[in-house]
Amino acid sequence: MWDDRRRWPARQLIAGLSALMIAGLAAGCETPAGQQQDKSLREATALRAALREESKQRNYAHIVGTEQGKLPPNYQLTIMAWLMTDWPLARHDKPHPLNTQWGATPFGGLACGDVAIIDPSAPPTPRQPFIASFDSAGRLTEVDVIDAQAMDGVRAARSDQDPFWSDRYLLKKCGVAL
């Protein structure tokens, strides 16, 4: 029992110091390193909010520009020319033919479809959906060929601040199952 009495003040002292440290932290007593971490966290949060807002603006601009656009009569040839010259998977030393299936043109300057490369010396490539946007003058402004990794991002996009949200919106308008 005598040992317990000697330990009791030590336990009270430890408990008191712990309570004092917790109260000090709760009251906002911070070290300079803690203040620096808070500042870095605030800056990172502000940067993330700015990037989300920029993504949101880009998404709406993409959609509005496409809605106000118009398809030229030769839109399929224009898209094929882009796929053959600018699509990274189609650019090779020796070009391969493309198997393109044309989909819906639900509104304005939006054309949809899917594409695969035909290479007899390689295994077949999976079909990849694409969306093409034309401006109000009928000029091609953007072609998004959506590979499997990007499709995961499109499926996960839930808010207008997600980078793939406009692609998700346009693909749904084209009738692509997500």
How does pLDDT run across 145-173, given as a tens digit for each residue?
A: 888 888 888 888 888 777 888 888 888 88
Q: Using CA atoms, how far apart are residues 82 and 86, in angstroms rounded to an integer?
A: 5
Q: Is the separation of the CB atoms in 125 and 89 below 8 Å?
A: yes
Alpha carbon 18 to its chain's center: 45
> Which pLDDT score is estimated for 158?
83
Give residue 6's pLDDT band: very low, low, confident or very high (50, 70, 90).
Answer: very low
**How confident is the prediction for the chain on average, in pLDDT?**
77
pLDDT higher than threshold 70 for residue 31: no
Among all chains, which residue has been given the structure tokens 């997600």?
162
The per-residue pLDDT for range 62-114, each reduced to its tens digit, is 777 778 889 999 999 999 988 888 777 666 656 667 888 998 888 888 999 99
Residue 90 is inside which H or E element, if any? Answer: none
Domain segments of the chain: what residues? Answer: 2-62, 66-174
Distance of alpha carbon 14 from alpha carbon 127, whole angstroms: 67
pTM of the model: 0.63
| pLDDT at position 50 | 73
Are the CB atoms for 142 and 133 separated by under 8 Å? Answer: yes
Which of 10-14, 54-58, 97-101 has the least mean pLDDT? 10-14
Cβ 143 vs Cβ 89: under 8 Å:
no
Q: Position of tokens 């393109």?
A: 100
